[in-house]
Every structure is written in C-alpha cells, then in structure tokens.
Structure 1
Amino acid sequence: MSTENTVNSSEDTIPVKRSQIQEAKGDDVQCSTCGSTRFREEGGEVYCRKCGTVVDEDRVDTSKEWRAFNSEEREEKRRVGSPITFTKADKGMGTKIGHNAEMNKVSGRKRTQYYRMRKWDKRLSNSRSRGLQQALKELQRVSSDLNLPESVYEEAARLTEKAQEEGIIQGRGIDATVGALVYLVARKQDVPRTLEEVAEQVPIKKRKLGKAYRHTARELDMQIKPGRPEDFIPRYASQLGLSGEVQAKARGIIQDARNTDALAGRSPTGIVAASLYIATKLEGEKLTQREIADEVGVTSVTVRKNYKDLAESLGIEEELENA
C-alpha cells in the first residue's frame, strides 16, 4: 500500500504521509490532534489549519514553476551553476560578475559599476590563486596541443592543485610541473606521449622534463609502470592511415617479441616503428621505413635496426623477404 495519501480540501491538495497522522474511516485522513481534515503547506511544512499541528516537514518542491522554449530562456531562468571541476582555480564555484555579452544590456552607469567590481574581485585574489590559474591555463594549452582527452586534462588539473599545495611547483616551476603531470597522467590512462613531444610543447629540455616527472611522481606517490610499445600503436597507425588488420598484426608482433625478451633495453617508439613496418609488409600495405620513421619521430636507421632484430628473434626473415 502506498505510504502517502492526498488530502482534498476547498483550498489545498497536499500529499500527507500516513505514518505521521491518524487514519479515519475509509481513505479520509485526519489530524492526530484535533481530527481536522484541512491542511496547508507553507515553508516546506504541512500543518493542520485548525490547530497548527505539523504533520510533515522538510518537503522539497521538485516541480518547476517556469518553462524554457529555447537556449536563451533556459540560460536566463536556470538557477544552478556548472559542475565542480578541477580545471578552474575556484573549481567553478567562484563568483562571476557579469558576462561581456550581458554588459551591453545594462546602462552605462551599471556597466561601469560591474567593471569596477570585477576589477576589485580580481585584485583581492591571493598569489596562490593567481599561480594556480596560470598553471591551469598552461595545462589546458599543452593538453590541447597534444590532442589529449578531457579525462587527462581533468586529472592533471587535480594533481596540479595538489602539487601546488605540497610546494612542488615552487621547487620546479610551472612549465616543468605541468609537463611532468601531462606525461604521467597520459601514461597512466594509456594514451601516452613521448618525452620529446611533451618537452616541445612546454617547452623545456627533454633531460629537465625527465628529472621533473620522476621527482613529481615520487613526491605525489604515483606508481607509474614502464611504457608499453603497444599503447602507441593506435595513434601512429591512425596517423599513417593503416587498417585495423595492420594494427592487430603489429600488436601480435610486439607480444611475441616480448616473450622472447627481444624488447629489453629498447625504446618503445623504435619498437612501434619496426613492428608497424613488419606488419605493413605482411599485410601488403606498403610503406617505406622513412615514412614510418618521420611519423613516429625516430630515424630510419633505428627502424631498420629494430626491424632486423625483431625479424630475427621471431624467425620470420624469409616470410618478410617474400612479402
């Protein structure tokens, strides 16, 4: 049986919980104090109109008293803010005084007042907030330039705030810390970027970035596994316009080579380039070593050396010569 009943009166129709008032004959609900059947709702409370006994409280009105028929009306009438996000220094909860488009709708006097309020709101922010804003702005640029997913940007932003709280940014600088966090989070979420690619975007030297990411991982207690060559395959295969069959074959080559310990001490990008070259030959999609090397970011000599070593370790030299 339902736990609620609707009380009809000449003025009100209020849902009342049966557990909070006494039931009378049939479906009639009466006040437990005076027996009245007339109730009123006000301020989130339902009370008896005769004696004032509160029979229900903390009621939440989930209905909307407004309707929107286009995006402009929805924007004007909404009363909730954006979700909490670490990509903003105030997590999206700070006060924002007017939008530029809205400023044109008010009088000149009000517009001057709003601009003055925005100026002082900005001046009153502390150095920590300004430093975090600068770091997040740089993080957004680097993530966009490296074509990283939103999840990497969000997680790196969260760790940027944590790094600032623990004094890592002050010790290493914004560029080094942002580059280190982008590199670490991208690897952790299986969309890795090479140190060279991140170093070009920050920009700092590769050696300095390597020190920064190791220091940052140690300070934030981040357990990062060694990079796997197969994690790079979808990205480079897509850039080269290779088919899914070639990608699957390249993954199989890397896995077989790992079982023979042929990957020990080799650069992941060099292994990826060599495995893609072998896979294209076996699948009949002809690409030169130079084309693959230029896309992956290694030299033709590296591709040739890794290609020969992989072919020898897997015993497929004859098959490749006949391909």
Structure 2
Amino acid sequence: MVNNMSDPIKTSQKDKQKCPEDQIIYDPEMGEYICLLTGEVIEEKVIDDRPEWRAFTPEERERRSRIGGPLTSTVHDRGLATAIDYSNKDATGKRLEPRRRLEIQKLRRWQARSRIQSSIERNLAQAMNELDRLSDQLNLPRNVKEEAARIYRRAVEKGLVRGRSIESVIAAAIYAACRELKVPRTLDEISKHTKSSRKDIARCYRLLLKELDIKVQTSDPIDFIPRIAHALNLGGGVMKKAAEILHKARSIGVTAGKDPAGLAAAAVYIAAQLSGERRTQKEIAHVAGVTEVTVRNRYKELAKELGIELPTT
C-alpha cells in the first residue's frame, strides 16, 4: 500500500518558501506559526522556551530565575561546579543529626577533591584564593578582580607562572588590572599585603606586559584624588581645586617624571589648606601611601611653579 501523505517537515519547508517571512506571525497560545496571506499553519506544536514568569526589575528577574550564576574567572572552575553548604542544616532549616553531619562532611571532602584533579587546577585554586584575599585587603571593585583573574589565566596558559611565586604573579596581575581600568593602586600598597617584595612583583608585572601584550596607560595623579579626599573626609570643593592644580601643573610640565600618588597628595594638601579644611602632611602621606618628605617636596614645587601662597597657621 502506497502512502500518499507527504512528509510534514517537507510540507512546512515548502509553505515557508511560499509565504514571505515578513508575513509569518507566531501565536503563543496555540504554539503555531501562521501565514497572514493564506491563513495556513506553517509550523505547529512549537516549544516555547521563554520563562512562564514576568519580571519588571533586574532584582526581580534575578530572584525569579532558576538557573545558576554567571560564569566567572575568579573561581578556578569558572563557577561550573556545585558546592555543598557548610551550614549543616536540612531543607527545612533544622540541624542535622551528628551521624548525618559526618556523612555530609565526607561527601564535602570528596566533592572538594573531585573539583581539583590536575596541577593547573590546583595552581588556579591557590591563585584565586590569593586573589580573593588581596582584593578584600585592597578593597578592589568586581571588574578589577575579574580582569586580574583573566590576566592570570592567560599567564598560566603561556607557562609564565612556572618557576615563579603564585603570590608574585597574582599581585602583578592585580596591578596590571588596576592600571588597565584606571583604579588607583600603587605597587607599594599591593606589596604591603603580600609576602613578595616590591621588586619581585614589579619584575612579574613587566613580564606580563611583555608576554601578554597588555596595553596600560601611565597613571594619572587626578585618579588618586577622590580616594585620598574620601579617606580624609574632605569635601567636593577640595577635590575640584586639587584637580585644577594638577591640570595647571601638567600644562607647564611640572608633573613629568613624578610619582602620581605623591603629586595627588601634594595637590590635596594645597587644596585643603586653601579651602580651610586643614589636614597635616602626615595624615595625607599615610592615606596616599607616600612619605611626608615626598608630600613636602611636591607641594613646595607646585606652590613655587604655580605661584600659590598658602595661608599661614
């Protein structure tokens, strides 16, 4: 017996060719694609993969979503693996029995071992832990942390970490990310929170720039002003005046070859004095991460070249 019924897939493809694409509409209630010209059903029983809920704000969308978090470079497995919670509570919030807690502890231990299976994964796990610690100590924003993790992963792929301290390379990656994203952090600040010396971090930083072809701009002293001013509880007028001082100094070439943090500290000191919000050189030097001598020398240079007379105490 010959079956005269045509293949539904071929038919739908033939219908699509007859009906222009701009005349095809989708009926979400019936799950069908319909041609407006002929009224024919071109495709039926279409699976709707959209969520059945609606959200009107980003917070509401995140709360109602039932998928996992986004991929992140700051976790050695990019956040793909799951982790067993340390709360030792069941789904209802009750404490687990001692015997059950021991079982969960064993499962947690095996799960942690299964996440790290190679030397590269072990290296990344140690580095990402160090990145978390340094980011907290330096109060770095999320985007800098992500960029530092990406730089370190590229260094691992090119074999730059082999024979070098993980701590030095991750510190250099953080410094490179800060320079790329114009977040004011100095090598001295970063080395203060690590066991690696400033010299080692600087050597690794130069290696990353060369081998990974990272383009960074020179540090702008103006980027350091908000951080110093906020730490000293200085107002917006002081920040504006300090930025104006540095703009004038740059226009006449006074800032060339000078430490940006020292210049910013000196400009903030002068602006605070002129605005009547006095702060000592010691306070400003401590916040900026430079010495009092640096602040004193830089502010005298700026005051002399710009013709600024500070009020006497």
TM range (shorter): 0.7 to 0.9
1:116-157 CA distance string (max 9 Å, x none): 585166156111111101100100110110001011111111
> TM-score w.r.t. structure 2 length?
0.78
1:122 aligned partner = 113
Gaps of 5+ in 2: 1-22, 54-61
1:136 aligned partner = 128
What displacement does 1:322 show? Answer: 6.3
Query: For residues 229 and 168 of structure 1, what CA distance do their matches in structure 2 show?
Result: 31
Matched, 1:88 2:78: no
Counterpart secondary structure, 2:30: strand
Q: Which moved more, 1:56-65 or 1:122-131?
A: 56-65
1:15 aligned partner = 31
2:19 aligned partner = none
Instruction: State whether residues 31 and 46 of structure 2, in contact with CA within 8 Å, keep that contact through their aligned partners in structure 1.
Output: no
> TM-score w.r.t. structure 1 length?
0.75
Query: For residues 105 and 289 of structure 2, what CA distance do their matches in structure 1 show?
Result: 51
1:167-208 CA distance string (max 9 Å, x none): 111142211111001111112112121111100112211112
Instruction: State whether residues 176 and 208 of structure 1, in contact with CA within 8 Å, keep that contact through their aligned partners in structure 2.
Output: yes
Picking from 155, 164, 183, the partner of 2:147 is 155
Structure 2: which amino acid aligns with 1:126?
S
2:48 aligned partner = 60
What displacement does 1:101 show? Answer: 4.0
Matched, 1:99 2:91: no
Structure 2: which amino acid aligns with 1:119?
W
Instruction: State whether residues 103 and 111 of structure 1, in contact with CA within 8 Å, keep that contact through their aligned partners in structure 2.
Output: no
Stretches of 4+ aligned residues off by more than 6 angstroms: none
Q: Which moved more, 1:238-247 or 1:159-168?
A: 159-168
Query: For residues 63 and 267 of structure 1, what CA distance do their matches in structure 2 show?
Result: 54
Picking from 225, 239, 254, the partner of 2:231 is 239
2:211 aligned partner = 219
After superposition, residues 210-289 of structure 1 pair within 5 angstroms as 210-289=202-281
Query: For residues 26 and 292 of structure 2, what CA distance do their matches in structure 1 show?
Result: 77
Instruction: State whether residues 229 and 254 of structure 1, in contact with CA within 8 Å, keep that contact through their aligned partners in structure 2.
Output: yes
RMSD: 3.1
Counterpart secondary structure, 2:77: coil
1:40 aligned partner = none
Matched, 1:164 2:150: no
Picking from 190, 213, 226, the partner of 1:198 is 190
Query: For residues 245 and 213 of structure 1, what CA distance do their matches in structure 2 show?
Result: 36
What displacement does 1:163 show? Answer: 1.2
Instruction: State whether residues 34 and 43 of structure 2, in contact with CA within 8 Å, keep that contact through their aligned partners in structure 1.
Output: no
Paired residues, what number?
Answer: 277
Query: For residues 236 and 4 of structure 1, what CA distance do their matches in structure 2 show?
Result: 58
Counterpart secondary structure, 1:207: helix
1:262-309 CA distance string (max 9 Å, x none): 112221122112111111121111122222222223222222211111
Gaps of 5+ in 1: 7-12, 24-28, 32-53, 66-73
Structure 1: which amino acid aligns with 2:310?
L
Counterpart secondary structure, 1:138: helix
Structure 1: which amino acid aligns with 2:134?
V
Q: 1:217 to 1:55 in 2, by over 3 A?
A: same
Q: Which moved more, 1:112-121 or 1:304-313?
A: 112-121
Picking from 313, 316, 320, the partner of 2:310 is 320
Instruction: State whether residues 266 and 296 of structure 2, in contact with CA within 8 Å, keep that contact through their aligned partners in structure 1.
Output: yes
Q: 1:125 to 1:282 in 2, by over 3 A?
A: same
After superposition, residues 32-51 of structure 1 pair within 5 angstroms as none
Q: 1:120 to 1:312 in 2, by over 3 A?
A: closer
Instruction: State whether residues 21 and 55 of structure 1, in contact with CA within 8 Å, keep that contact through their aligned partners in structure 2.
Output: no
Q: Which moved more, 1:306-315 or 1:243-252?
A: 306-315
Counterpart secondary structure, 1:17: strand
Q: 1:56 to 1:115 in 2, by over 3 A?
A: farther
Q: Which has the higher contact order (CA 8 A, sep 6+)?
A: 2
What displacement does 1:246 show? Answer: 0.4
Identity of matched residues, %: 35
Structure 1: which amino acid aligns with 2:85?
H
